[in-house]
Amino acid sequence: MARINIIRTSPFKTKDAEHSLSYASKDDIFVLMDDGSYSLAHAPIIKKLLQFKVYVLQEHLEVRNIALIEGINKIDMADFVKLTTSHSPVVTWQW
């Protein structure tokens, strides 16, 4: 089963996204939330993320005024709960 990788911190401030990508398997799923939404504005990170199925919480994207990139899926909190309850393990990358 695919692992869910939750990125909550900005790649401009931490290496969390980078670390998660270095451990990712081809079937992994990434969810960007909180300041992790800024990953969409970080060219090297987004280039790597686009190799995977990636979701971003719509509310977090809108609050930060970040443009959605093609290939990234917007979800709401209900969708996030469904994802996390239907996949295992769920890993939050936040140091």
CA-closest candidate to residue 38, choices 13, 6, 19: 13
Q: How far is CA 1 from the centre of its chain?
A: 18
What are the pLDDT digits (tens) for 68-94? 999 999 999 999 999 999 999 999 997
CA-closest candidate to residue 93, choices 1, 29, 2, 47: 29
Distance CA 38, CA 78 (A): 21
What are the pLDDT digits (tens) for 22-74? 999 999 999 999 999 999 999 999 999 999 999 999 999 999 999 999 999 99
pTM of the model: 0.94
Residue 1 has pLDDT above 80, yes or no: no
